[in-house]
Amino acid sequence: MRAWFSPAYTVAEGSETFPTRKFELTAKALLADGTLRPEELAAPDLPTPSELLRAHTPEWVAKAVSGGLTPAEEALLELRWSPALATAHRLCVRGTLEACRDALGTGLGLHVGGGSHHAFADHGEGYCLLNDLAAAVLELQATRRVSRAAVVDLDVHQGNGTASILAGRPGLYTLSLHQEGGYPSVKVLSTRDVALPAGTGDAKYLKILEEELLALLARRPELVVYQAGVDVWEGDLLGGLALSAEGVAARDRLVFRVCRERGVPVAVTLGGGYAERVSDAAALHARTLRIGMESFK
């Protein structure tokens, strides 16, 4: 087993609301408890231009890589562009792609990062510069590694960018369970959207999720990319759902179990998590990855 991660994911110019060092803390937690050995943390290379262009326009790729964002574009992104930020997000594209390739080979792929589901083909939003989820599945489909794939997005926020990029593409499906009325203010239609009221707790969430997963897997995807945001946790600063820490873990077990029982490989990206203490978000992320490894032993 290996997990994809780069120290370059930590960006000093990142948002205080989205502290990029949470991915580094997640990796350290997995090393500290022996879940992973140092040699099992694999550093991704930069993606090729063609891999970025699977999901993004040439104009946006040029801006994302080299700069030149307008003030309005940076405001929408909610991050200040820098070379380090561009490198981090480019590496995350390849990290998610490599995790997907691992999943197709072994049943499970792990990315200690990724999940930039608010990035659109021609702009970034909500801390997301490049959409690693969409780029990965489009590259795999274009190279005939898969014909059908699904993004299961369980971040508290709707995956508007992923839904937009993948809309209308045969064989590619998006499922988003998210908080009703939350960010983004304008949603983009996924293959299936389930908007949950604020305060939704463990039992109701898990019941709905199981029903939706079974319906999605009836479409027979050859790969699930699991956007495992932990901002559904009741202590999250930007989320309004009320899953306990055990509820988040039960959610993860459910996704892995249902996919494993049906023989569908799973690649994991971490996505959102905005706890008051960044270590709390990292602990939840690390638990997700541990559960995945336990589930696919």
Q: What is the DSSP string of 117-135?
A: TT--SS--BTTBSS-HHHH
- The pairing of strands 172-179 and 192-196 is parallel
**How many separate helices (H) and strands (E) can be counted in the chain?**
10, 8
Give CA–CA dist 147/64, Å, rounded.
Answer: 29
Q: How far apart are CA 151 and CA 263, in angstroms?
A: 16
Count of alpha carbons within 13 Å of 272, Cβ hemisphere only?
24
Tell me the two tokens of residue 288. Answer: 């997700």
Active-site residues, by number, are 118
Kindly report the backbone phi and psi dihedral angles of residue 88, in degrees, each rounded to the nearest multiple of 5, phi listed first. Answer: -60, -45
What 3-state DSSP class applies to 152? strand
* Residue 205 identity: Y
- Report the distance separating Cα 87 and Cα 45, nearest Å: 10
How close are the terminal C-alpha atoms of the chain, in Å?
9
Tell me phi and psi for residue 192, to 5 degrees: -145, 125
